[in-house]
């Protein structure tokens, strides 16, 4: 063989001597073309009868292993991975609605979810309207004859209102309406969507599941009734998720329980401390008894994660807010959350319905895995800069 041919045919694992190597974590496998052993296999693949993976868009092993681990964790029927959380959300909205359908959207939903409904779904004749962020049995007032889907996020990731998911899914079931839950805050460890009657459970894997702020990925998990529709939509659209990201997300999943426990403990400690601080008005954290839907949290959730917010007794001027944010040393400034590093952000919310937080400055904290003592000192110093 000549050089160019040798370079193409060498370096394959079949060329290694001795036994096959099995590492603890499955290897990352990326690719477009999958090679078949025989012509007969190739023909079968072309006809759709081959029992192996046929192509890169046919979900390579790195993707399938991650999806199976998520499906198992969620106790669902089928999981599919998407290139980001918002991609998982957008495709769920498209896959399960038709022209002429109506979608109800809880008003505290992730901003880009509402934007997608308003700007993209509306083009296909799918109307969406808002329901209160703490909706429950009152959902009946909002449901119309053409309502096909109710999209929930509980708690919402800026203002942390909680919906009565059981009451909503009960009514939805009786009317043949699909319910979707963006369960990114609690993860399947702290809230079990299918036990509450939800049809489709969404995770922004970008947050706690990958956990290291180096992956963008989302998942949709379906219960049995919706599995086929999701599977067909995904296959026909030839969607897939990047193998590296799935590989990293699977690695993240291994340590999710211990990380989440630490996020929970540190966040609770800081939330309680902030609740007693004389500059702080309200701490928006579902596990605090002062939270308006704390009873629902106690009923449905098994824990709380590391993301919460607080308001200030005196609405700060922009310049003081800047002094606070710029003084922070442990907390980074940036979008997203759920990683090992603590982050601070300022939220001014935009809602369709009136909200008690409409004109308030919300300081949102994602509590990472640092020593909480350092985080508290950082915030304490920051708050003195705020009041100066």
Residues at the interface with ligand PLP (CB under 6 A): 84-86, 110, 153, 157, 182, 184, 204, 206, 216, 218, 336
**SS3 breakdown of the chain: % helix, strand, coil, rounded to 5?**
40, 15, 45
Q: Which residues of 226-262 are buried (b: 16+ CB within 10 A; e: fewer)?
A: bbeebeebbeeeebbbbbebbbbbbbbbeebeebbeb
Given the complex with ligand PLP, which of 70 and 312 has the nearer CB atom? 70
For residues 371 and 340, give the distance between their C-alpha atoms in angstroms, rounded to a whole number.
11
Given the complex with ligand PLP, which of 86 and 227 has the nearer CB atom? 86
Q: Which helix (H) or strand (E) holds 218?
A: strand 218-222
Question: CB of 256: closest distance to ligand PLP in angstroms?
Answer: 16
Question: CB of 57: closest distance to ligand PLP in angstroms?
Answer: 20
Given the complex with ligand PLP, which of 185 and 234 has the nearer CB atom? 185
Question: CB of 6: closest distance to ligand PLP in angstroms?
Answer: 42
Question: CB of 102: closest distance to ligand PLP in angstroms?
Answer: 22
Given the complex with ligand PLP, which of 147 and 204 has the nearer CB atom? 204
For residues 208 and 260, give the distance between their C-alpha atoms in angstroms, rounded to a whole number.
7
Question: CB of 273: closest distance to ligand PLP in angstroms?
Answer: 24
Q: Which helix (H) or strand (E) holds 151?
A: strand 147-153
Supply the DSSP string of 223-270, one letter for each residue.
-HHHHHHHHHHHHHTT----HHHHHHHHHHHHTHHHHHHHHHHHHHHH
Instruction: Determine contact, residues 85/187, Cβ cutoff 8 Å.
Output: no
Question: CB of 336: closest distance to ligand PLP in angstroms?
Answer: 6
Given the complex with ligand PLP, which of 132 and 218 has the nearer CB atom? 218
175: three-class secondary structure by DSSP: coil
For residues 90 and 182, give the distance between their C-alpha atoms in angstroms, rounded to a whole number.
12
Q: What is the dihedral of CA 243, 246, 247, 252, to 10 degrees?
A: 160
Question: CB of 220: closest distance to ligand PLP in angstroms?
Answer: 12
Question: CB of 166: closest distance to ligand PLP in angstroms?
Answer: 20
Q: Which helix (H) or strand (E) holds 174?
A: helix 165-174
Given the complex with ligand PLP, which of 184 and 345 has the nearer CB atom? 184
Instruction: Determine contact, residues 31/60, Cβ cutoff 8 Å.
Output: yes
Question: CB of 84: closest distance to ligand PLP in angstroms?
Answer: 4
Given the complex with ligand PLP, which of 270 and 343 has the nearer CB atom? 343
Main-chain dihedrals φ then ψ at residue 141, nearest 5 degrees: -65, -20
Given the complex with ligand PLP, which of 85 and 372 has the nearer CB atom? 85
Pairing state of beta strands 127-131 and 102-106? Answer: parallel
The pair of structure tokens assigned to 163 is 């919906």
Given the complex with ligand PLP, which of 182 and 293 has the nearer CB atom? 182
């Amino acid at each position: 063989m000549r050089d160019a041919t040798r370079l193409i045919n060498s370096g394959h694992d079949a060329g290694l001597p001795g036994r096959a190597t099995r590492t603890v974590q499955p290897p990352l496998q990326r690719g477009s073309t999958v090679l078949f052993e025989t012509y007969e296999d190739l023909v079968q693949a072309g006809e759709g009868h081959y029992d192996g993976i046929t192509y890169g868009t046919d979900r390579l092993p790195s993707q399938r292993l991650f999806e199976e681990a998520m499906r198992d964790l969620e106790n669902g029927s089928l999981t599919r991975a998407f290139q980001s959380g918002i991609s998982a959300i957008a495709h769920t909205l498209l896959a399960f609605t038709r022209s002429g359908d109506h979608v109800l959207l809880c008003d505290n939903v992730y901003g880009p979810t509402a934007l997608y409904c308003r700007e993209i779904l509306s083009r296909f004749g799918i109307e969406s309207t808002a329901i209160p962020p703490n909706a429950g049995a009152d959902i009946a007032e909002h449901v119309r004859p053409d309502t096909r889907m109710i999209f929930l996020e509980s708690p919402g990731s800026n203002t942390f209102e909680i919906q009565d998911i059981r009451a909503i899914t009960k009514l939805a079931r009786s009317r043949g309406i699909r319910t979707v839950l963006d369960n990114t805050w609690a993860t399947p460890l702290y809230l079990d969507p299918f036990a509450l009657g939800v049809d489709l459970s969404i995770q922004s894997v970008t947050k706690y599941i990958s956990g290291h702020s180096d992956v963008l990925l989302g998942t949709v998990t379906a219960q049995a009734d919706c599995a086929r529709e999701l599977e067909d939509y995904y296959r026909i659209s030839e969607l897939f998720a990047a193998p590296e990201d799935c590989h990293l997300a699977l690695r993240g999943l291994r340590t999710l329980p211990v990380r989440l426990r630490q996020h929970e403990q540190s966040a609770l400690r800081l939330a309680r401390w902030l609740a007693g601080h004389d500059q702080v008005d309200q701490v928006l954290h579902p596990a605090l008894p002062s939270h308006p839907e704390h009873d629902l949290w106690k009923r449905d959730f098994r824990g709380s994660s590391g993301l919460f917010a607080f308001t200030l007794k005196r609405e700060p001027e922009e310049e003081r807010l800047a002094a606070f944010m710029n003084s922070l040393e442990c907390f980074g400034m940036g979008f997203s959350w759920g990683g090992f590093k603590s982050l601070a952000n300022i939220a001014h919310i935009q809602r369709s319905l009136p909200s008690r937080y409409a004109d308030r400055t919300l300081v949102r904290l994602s509590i990472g895995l640092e020593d909480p003592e350092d985080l508290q000192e950082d915030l304490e110093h920051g708050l003195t800069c705020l009041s100066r």
